[in-house]
Amino acid sequence: MKDVAPRDRPREKLERLGAQGLGDNELVALVLGSGSRQTGALELANRLIAGAGGLHGLMRVGLDGLRRVAGVGPAKAAQVLAAVELGRRTLVRCAAERPRLATPRQLAAFLLPQYGTCAVEQFGIVMLDTKHRVIRVRIVSVGSLDATIVHPREVFREAAAGSAAAVVLFHNHPSGDPTPSPDDLALTTRMVSAGAIMGIEVIDHVILADQRYFSLVESGRLPPPP
């Protein structure tokens, strides 16, 4: 930081302008606290952000990925991951609130912070009561980088155990593209049919990808029950 004017250093800027007045690299530099012997904190922050493919990519990078950046050791990597996790948790609603999720946009806003950036596919369900208030969220299956396998019996065993009146299916696409595949559409059809037999309505299937989502209801592609 020696080549930065004192009033323009991140800590001083935060005091003067507030946290919202800092750039991404300045906020990361404050989380790091200091640089290395060869690199200042701002330059180290720039390297971390570039190595992650942007600030949002830090949510995907684990400890090993952060430590590959020269100058970042175990302590600094842990500080960055802890800060990212704190930020994520502020976006996740408290389960005690039992929010009512009536639209695909509300569902996406509820799910994206926690599940949109997973590095492997996860398939889960949001269990809802008769007023579409959240009972709980369950991950039913965890797969690979581009696929997960789930059976209707696993989904509706969880839903029945949770006394759900309805469920929203969701899974993430680590590729970053939320467009449903033919397999996604075929699986949805099977789930809707199984739900009709169980008396538990499938009201949507939401596909998550980073900060984007695809809702089969919004697109008019959710199949009707048989």
Bridge partners (DSSP) listed for residue 139? 124
* Residue 100 DSSP code: B
Backbone angles phi, psi at 18, to 5 degrees: 90, 160
Task: Check residue 57 and report its DSSP letter.
Answer: G
pLDDT for position 144 = 67
C-beta atoms surrounding 219 within 10 Å: 11
As a whole number of angstroms, the distance between CA 147 and CA 218 comes to 23
Q: Residue 66: what pLDDT?
A: 85
Q: What is the structure's pLDDT at 179?
A: 97
Tell which CATH architecture fits domain 95-215. Answer: 3-Layer(aba) Sandwich (3.40)
pLDDT at 1: 53
Residue 56: what pLDDT?
A: 78
> What is residue 84's predicted lDDT score, i.e. its pLDDT?
84
Q: Structural domain boundaries of the chain?
A: 6-91, 95-215
Query: Is the distance from CB of 63 to CB of 48 less than 8 angstroms?
Result: no
| 100: β partners | 133
Domain spanning 6-91: CATH 1.10.4160: no
Other beta carbons within 10 Å of 22: 17
Other beta carbons within 10 Å of 78: 13
Tens digit of each residue's pLDDT, the chain (226 residues): 556 666 668 888 888 777 877 888 888 888 888 888 788 888 888 888 888 888 878 877 878 888 888 888 888 888 988 888 887 777 665 545 678 898 999 999 999 998 998 888 999 999 999 999 999 999 999 886 666 789 999 999 999 999 999 999 999 999 999 999 999 999 999 999 999 999 999 999 999 998 899 999 999 999 999 8
- Alpha carbons 48 and 146: distance in angstroms, whole number: 26
Residue 178: predicted pLDDT = 97
Task: Please tell me the predicted confidence (pLDDT) of residue 216.
Answer: 98
DSSP 127: E
Q: What is the pLDDT of residue 6?
A: 67
pLDDT at 115: 92
